[in-house]
Structures are given as structure tokens and as C-alpha cells.
Chains A and B, each alone.
Chain A
Amino acid sequence: MRSAPPLRWAAVAVLATGCTLAASESAPVASSAWTSRAIPEARGEMRVGPDGTRTAVRYKGWTTRDFGAFRTYAYDDARPEPAVQKTAMPGGFAGDAKKGRALFLDRQKAPCTGCHLVPGDDVWPAGSVGPDLSTLGDRRLPDAYLYQQLWDPRVTFPATVMPPWGAQGIFTPEEIIHLVAYLQTLHGPPPPEKDADRNPFTRRRSAGFGDNLDPTNNPAVIRAEEAQALWNARGPKGKACADCHAGGSKTAMRGVATRYPRVVAEHGRVMSLEDFLGVHGEATTGRALPLESDANLDVTLLIKMASDGMPVAVDTASPAARAAIERGKATFYRRVGQRNHACADCHTPERGANKFLGGRWLADVTEGLTRHFPTWRTDRNEVWDMRKRFQWCMTPLGANMLAADAVEYAELELFLTTFDVGKPITAPGIRH
């Protein structure tokens, strides 16, 4: 695993010189400079209680924990990655292997099985991002070495994607001692595998959810089709989308989605379709289409479906686009949150991509991951756009989310979209 390229330092340099400029084509517009047009749950806001405790304003059912102590994607968040911590194993305390095993499997913690296979019929589903630990005890590594590895593995492996569990306060010293005791009990030979699917190295891939464009299979297609009524309906200003974009959305919007996200000179920033509708809908028809509202998602789907089958053709040549893509790439490699993870840690083939993280197959960014967004999520019976997907990732990473229409997210999305160039749009998708 190679270390991250130095591009994020380039982004900081640009920020340092660009801050005093008015919003121009090559300087990034930090989140705080853009007034979010997202619904309240999607703005990345904090609520401060009378006793000073901060809770995050988030979507229903999402954690409201404040991860403010940890680095975010915000361009003006200049905090460095957490320092690498060398430590010594506390003495005079015997680890309990049984407690250690429970911690290893505990979903509230990591779980460690997300990346590492260990023996047991109850281990479902373990991942293959990290090495199989089923016989780790045979290596007779010193307890202190294992303790340091769990406390902060960067001491031994500087380029690792494994989080610094102890240094970041996810596991306590006592818990790590229990984990070490458990790991030392793992001796070979491992029991014969009764079930090839239990083992992530031999597990079958999921079959997916079938034809994403078939409305008898994907509810999002029905949602979008029904939104044609919204397209035709007059807003408070007495105008409808259809008034300027005549002939039905399928004809009027043909090809439009292939060019997004793009630099919108009028607003001095990169915008996705969702971002643009957040401003454009109200400006023209008077009907607000806030980011992450059903209306915004449905109209985005309508517009994107008008380009189904057409190759993605975002601008990657102009100076403004190139600068934005570089910043997006820096964000992709930027480590954030309590877990100290970057997108690249899971989604590049050199690191976690094309492996199982728990039961989830990690997608490879180089294959192009944006052209089926917005996508139906079967697990949630919701349409998710790319921004909600970014915001969700913040939850396991332990980082506060930015507003859905944050410039940081838009430029990250543009970087991801460069891998879809030339490939046919096929929205809405249908996924877990």
C-alpha cells in the first residue's frame, strides 16, 4: 500500500493564496461562503443545548453525535491528521480472551471482523480488507507489539488504512488488552470451512437487484415518472419548468446531465444537477427545490433519465475544471474523522476496493461510480443522491458532515465523475 500522494498539500497551498480573492473560477469556495439550499437535516448544522452540549442536526434515524473533535472535509479545516502515537502496554492487568472476542465482534466498536476473518460459525459477515487473523497466535508476536498495533498501527505500518483505535479513543487500554489476549489464542490449523460464503476470500458476490430502469423493479423510476407533473406545474411565479423547457423533460433535457457536475460561472463554483436545481428552481418558477427534498431528487432523476444511455461528458479540460478536479482528488485522499479514513482507503484497488468490508463489496472508483446516481436504496426505500452517500460515509468514519451542497462535496463528486467519462448514464440505479 503506497502512501497518499502529496496533492492535499497542493490544495492547502491554493487555499492559502486564494482566500483573499473574490469567488473566481480557480479558487475554491469554502463551505462557509456558500449559503446552503438544503433541507434543514442536510445542512450539517449543530444544535447547542442549554448545557452547552452539541448535537448534530441530521436525517431521521442517523446518529446525532457531534464529532467536532475530528477533522472534516471542509477546505477551511486546517487541522492535521492525528499524530502517530507510540505507546507502551500497561502492566499488571490480565486480558480476558473471552471479553476480547466479544469486543472483536462488537458492531458498536469497529467491528474488527469488518476487515479481518477469525474462526467461528457466528462470524458473519467478516471482511477481506485486512489479513485473515485466524492463526495470528501462531506467530508468537509479543503482547506489547500487538498492543501497539491496535493502539496506533501507523507506528509499524506508516501507510496502513487501519485506524489508530487506541490513539483516537475508540477502544480503551483495558479493551485493547482483552483484544490482545483473544488474538493470542488464535492457533492453527483453522477448522475446515463448512461454508465457503462465511470466508470473504471465497464468498460469492451478490446478484444485485436486477434491471434498474424497469419500473416494475425499481420504485425510483415510478417516482421520477410521476414527477413529470411537477415539471409541468406552475410555481408561485406563475411559471413551470415546462414553460422554458418545452416538449417534455425527456426531449428538453436530453444530454444535459452528461455535462454535470460543472463549473457554473454565474455562481462561481462547481455544481451538480441537484446543486443547480437548488438555486435555479426558485429563481425561475418560484418553487424552491431544496437539496435532499423529494422534489429536488425527483426532478434531478427526470433530468438525468433524459440522458440515459448517453456517455458522461463532463468538462475536464478548462482551467477552472482542472483546478476543481485537483481539489476533489485531494479530498478523495484526505484522511478525516475519528477513524482517520479517506475515501481512497476503501475505494481504490491498491487499498480496499474489490474486497469485502464486512458483508459489503467495496466499489472501485476507477470503474466509475457516479453514472447510476441518484440511486434507489432498497434497504431504506429512499432515493439517495451522491451527496447523501457522502454524508452517510461520515457516520462510520466519525466525522461531522458538511451541507449537501457544500463546494467540497461538489468538487469531490466532479473528481469521481471523471472516471465515468465516456460511460453511459443509467439512472436511477438500484442498490442495497
Chain B
Amino acid sequence: MTQPITRRSALGRLGAVSVAVAAGTLGVSARAHAQASSQALGLQETVQDGLKRVFGGRPMKDGTALIKLDIPPIAENGAVVPVSVEVNAPMTPASYVKNIWIVADKNRIPIVARATLTPEAGQAFVGANIRLGETTDVRAIVEQSDGTLLTARREVKVTVGGCGG
């Protein structure tokens, strides 16, 4: 539902509008862009294959104590599902959260996105609106600068159909 106006103004000012910068032709086709390297994104694969490709057999610790994975338990549709990940871990040059992957187990493209942070971020916090193909577990996989991997997951039920469309 709508939020009260006071909350919105408390969030602060709006930035300037964008400038569309005409770039040279990157001309990268979706197929060419998605090489089968471990860091490639956008591949259609099972989540098991995707995790194996990106992380090999590297151990992943249970990060439920440190990772706040915020995602609605019931999504009204699979088109726009807001997700945010906040990690209770330092962000200093000596130790910081370097990468956060968002994974949706049942998506055709299960490795949804990767956020890469620098210590200047000050806090390991990222948010994005993602697509979900169907009811699925959504995972956050966090990589710290020393290579430690942490993970947390939540189930999201995706509502389908209905007379509202």
C-alpha cells in the first residue's frame, strides 16, 4: 500500500535527471557476452551447475547469523521482487565484503546478479528488483576479501494467476 508522505521526505532529496550518453557500439550479443567462464553471468543452467561453475567446491559457511536477506515471503508476481542483502561484517581495507551474489534456485538463469563492493561503501548493503520464474528459494552468497563464503536463503512463494491478471 502507499506510504505516508512524511516517510518519503525523510528519505531525502532526489538527484539530477540522467544524461543519456551516446556510447560507441558495444555490439555485444547476449550469447557472446555469456562466456562459460566461472564469473560469467546470464547463463541458463541448473542452480547446481551454476554454483559449481562459479564457486567450484569451495565450502560455504552458514551465514544466517550475519546476513539479513530481506525478501517478501509471498511475491504478488514474479516480475518485480524486491530483495536486499545486508551483511553484519566489517568494511575496512583489511577486511571487507567483496561480492554478493543473488541466486534464485528455480530460475532459468539462477545466478541472478552479482554486486561488487569496495571498502568505501561503508556497509555491506545492496538491493535490487529481480525476476522470479516460480516459487523458489532465493539465496545470498557473500564473499569476503579473504575468500570466505557465507550463505543464507529464504523461500519466496510466487503468486500466479487470478482475475486481477
The chain B residue with its CB closest to the CB of A381 is: B79
Of residues 327 through 374 on chain A, the ones whose CB sits less than 8 Å from some CB of chain B are 346, 357-360, 372
Task: Establish whether residues B5 and A309, one from each chain, have CB atoms under 8 Å apart when the complex forms.
Answer: yes
Known: A124-B157, A210-B82. A396 touches B163 (CB 8 A): yes
Of residues 9 through 25 on chain B, the ones whose CB sits less than 8 Å from some CB of chain A are 11, 14
Task: Establish whether residues A209 and B8, one from each chain, have CB atoms under 8 Å apart when the complex forms.
Answer: no
Count of chain A residues near B, Cβ 8 A: 39
The verdict on B2 contacting chain A, using a C-beta distance below 8 Å, is yes
Q: Which residues of A contact B75 (CB under 8 A)?
A: 206
Q: B3's contact among A114, A210, A396, by CB below 8 Å, is which?
A: A210
Q: Which residues of A contact B159 (CB under 8 A)?
A: 125, 206, 358-360, 432
Task: Establish whether residues B11 and A206, one from each chain, have CB atoms under 8 Å apart when the complex forms.
Answer: no
Q: B74's contact among A206, A395, A426, by CB below 8 Å, is which?
A: A206
- State A106–B20 Cα separation when bound (angstroms): 47
CB distance from A218 to the nearest CB of B (A): 10
The chain B residue with its CB closest to the CB of A432 is: B76
Q: Which residues of B contact A216 (CB under 8 A)?
A: 14
Task: Establish whether residues A215 and B14, one from each chain, have CB atoms under 8 Å apart when the complex forms.
Answer: yes
Task: Establish whether residues B2 and A372, one from each chain, have CB atoms under 8 Å apart when the complex forms.
Answer: yes
Known: A124-B157, A359-B159, A378-B79. A392 touches B2 (CB 8 A): no
Given contact pairs A114-B162, A213-B2, A381-B79, a sample of 9 additional A-B residue pairs in the complex whose CB atoms are under 8 Å apart: A197-B157, A206-B72, A206-B76, A211-B2, A346-B163, A357-B162, A359-B76, A377-B165, A392-B164
CB distance from B71 to the nearest CB of A (A): 10
Known: A204-B73, A379-B79, A432-B77. A360 touches B2 (CB 8 A): no
Q: Is the interface of B mostly helix, strand, loop or mixed?
A: loop
The verdict on A296 contacting chain B, using a C-beta distance below 8 Å, is no
The verdict on B7 contacting chain A, using a C-beta distance below 8 Å, is yes
Task: Establish whether residues A429 and B74, one from each chain, have CB atoms under 8 Å apart when the complex forms.
Answer: no
CB distance from A364 to the nearest CB of B (A): 13
- State A207–B8 Cα separation when bound (angstroms): 17
Interface 1/0s, chain B 134-165, versus A by CB < 8 A?
A: 01000000000000000000000101111111
Known: A213-B2, A372-B2. A360 touches B72 (CB 8 A): no
CB distance from B12 to the nearest CB of A (A): 10
CB distance from B64 to the nearest CB of A (A): 20
Q: Which residues of A contact B26 (CB under 8 A)?
A: none
Q: Which residues of B contact A237 (CB under 8 A)?
A: none
- State A359–B72 Cα separation when bound (angstroms): 14
Q: Which residues of A contact B40 (CB under 8 A)?
A: none
Of residues 382 through 424 on chain A, the ones whose CB sits less than 8 Å from some CB of chain B are 392-393, 395-397
The verdict on A245 contacting chain B, using a C-beta distance below 8 Å, is no
Leading 4 A-B pairs by shortest Cβ distance: A359-B159, A432-B76, A360-B162, A396-B163
Q: A432's contact among B2, B7, B164, by CB below 8 Å, is which?
A: B164
Of residues 188 through 245 on chain A, the ones whose CB sits less than 8 Å from some CB of chain B are 197, 203-204, 206-216
- State A214–B15 Cα separation when bound (angstroms): 12
